[in-house]
Amino acid sequence: MNLCDVKTIKQLMAMFSLNFRKEFGQNFLTNISVVEDIADNCCDDSETTILEIGPGVGSLTRELAARYKHVVAIEIDHGLIPVLKYTLDEFKNVTVINEDVMKLDLGEVLAPYFESGKVSVCANLPYYITTPILMKLLESGLPFEYITIMIQSEVADRLCTAPGSKDCGAITAVLNYYGAPEKLFKVGAHNFIPAPKVDSSVVRIKLHKDKPCKPHDEATLFRTIRAAFEQRRKTLPNALSAVFGELTKEELTAAVTECGHPENIRGEKLSTEQFTALSDVLYEKIQNKQ
Ligand code: SAM
């Protein structure tokens, strides 16, 4: 069964009386070699369990199931569940869950798989919710080995640019705190049905087992990054003052200069390590005031 064949996808949709649901970001892959490349490169150990978000009609799911120990596939669209039952029938190592991934307790669902070995994530993510899903995976604190996701090319470029470079955003700095992102390859819009308006790219993130940055307080680190990028045209002390109301402008300026930066620096120039150092100084100043 070639689930990337456009005729087969259309036949399946008709057989189960389904339409492509735009509100769920349903753009299904139609190029089997792209699907194989994603499955081949999403992790390096066949004894791994893969969490797939949004299996669609099951094209990537089948390739993952053929290569890895187990696949847990979360699909929001209940209409696709009978399709997946049909297309994945021959695979005994696939568990399909009909849920919104944003509502699911991933720790609970994946506990037995973490207990018995490694777990990685592999997904062609729906565009409308890419960042919230990625943040949920990272903030879950679950020890995934790799997170491999297909996302809009523009977002992939922002994730994979060097922190401190002009294209980076808050997500770049936060992502580099959790792991090392790498852009694997680009996938043109013509490889999907229906074709989206923009091209996609596959990004693989290797999660740090031991994070190189160890802030005194994670929440203060994320506040510092958010402040810097929310007002990226402002100087860093000014941008910080919008978020750190408990510190005076003088204290914020002192924190920036104590870290060795000129006071007119913009926050977007900082690396994740520099954000961590700054957040430690800010955290101490806040503690000293209490
Ligand atoms: N994996 C398939 C492929 O590559 O052809 C489909 C990918 S399609 C871009 C995204 C899939 O995610 C769709 O099947 C969609 O119904 C599902 N989806 C969208 N939002 C979701 C959510 N919040 N939780 C779980 N699945 C979701």
- Dump the DSSP string for 205-241: EEEPSS-S---S-HHHHHHHHHHHHHTTTS-HHHHHH
Per-residue pLDDT reduced to its tens digit, 234-251: 999 999 999 999 999 999
Q: How much distance in Å is there from the Cα of 26 to the middle of ligand 1?
A: 6
- Check whether 165 has a pLDDT greater than 90: no
Cis, bond preceding 194 (omega within 30 deg of 0): yes
Q: How much distance in Å is there from the Cα of 121 to the middle of ligand 1?
A: 14
Q: How much distance in Å is there from the Cα of 50 to the middle of ligand 1?
A: 15
Q: Which of 16, 33, 76, 83 to mutate to test the pocket of ligand 1 (most atoms within 8 A of CB)?
A: 76
Per-residue pLDDT reduced to its tens digit, 103-122: 999 999 999 999 999 999 99
From the alpha carbon of 57, which atom of ligand 1 is closest? 2
Pocket of ligand 1 (CB under 6 A): 24-29, 53-56, 59-60, 74-77, 100-102, 124, 126, 129
What pTM value is reported for the model? 0.95
- Check whether 1 has a pLDDT greater than 90: no
Q: Are 149 and 173 in contact (CB under 8 A)?
A: no
Q: Which residues lie below 8 Å from residue 263, measured CB to CB, with a gap of 6+?
A: 235, 236, 237, 253, 256, 257
Instruction: Give, using CA atoms, the residue closest to atom 17 of ligand 1.
Output: 54
